[in-house]
Amino acid sequence: MKNKGLDTTFLHYGIRKDDIALIEKLCEKHQLDFDWVKDSLMKEFHEKKISNEDIDDKTVIKIIDKALQKIK
């Protein structure tokens, strides 16, 4: 029987555990630091989503650019 409790990953990032697992595999495949992707990209994306901000392609690009600036 599957645990029906709260999915803490979903609560923090708005993304279900199965999807997080897929993102982690993609990070490994493309040699990206999963923790960086999770903390720098997904967290900000989720914050905008719960604030009902419009999330279009330009917004996603800005989120990625902002995260990349942190590692320069």
Domain boundaries, the chain: 8-70
Q: Where are the alpha helices (DSSP H) in the chain?
A: 8-13, 17-29, 34-36, 43-50, 57-70
Q: What is the mean pLDDT of the chain?
A: 80
The string of pLDDT tens digits covering residues 24-66 is: 898 899 888 888 888 888 888 888 888 888 888 888 888 888 8
Place of tokens 């999963």: 34
So what's the pLDDT on residue 36? 85
So what's the pLDDT on residue 72? 59
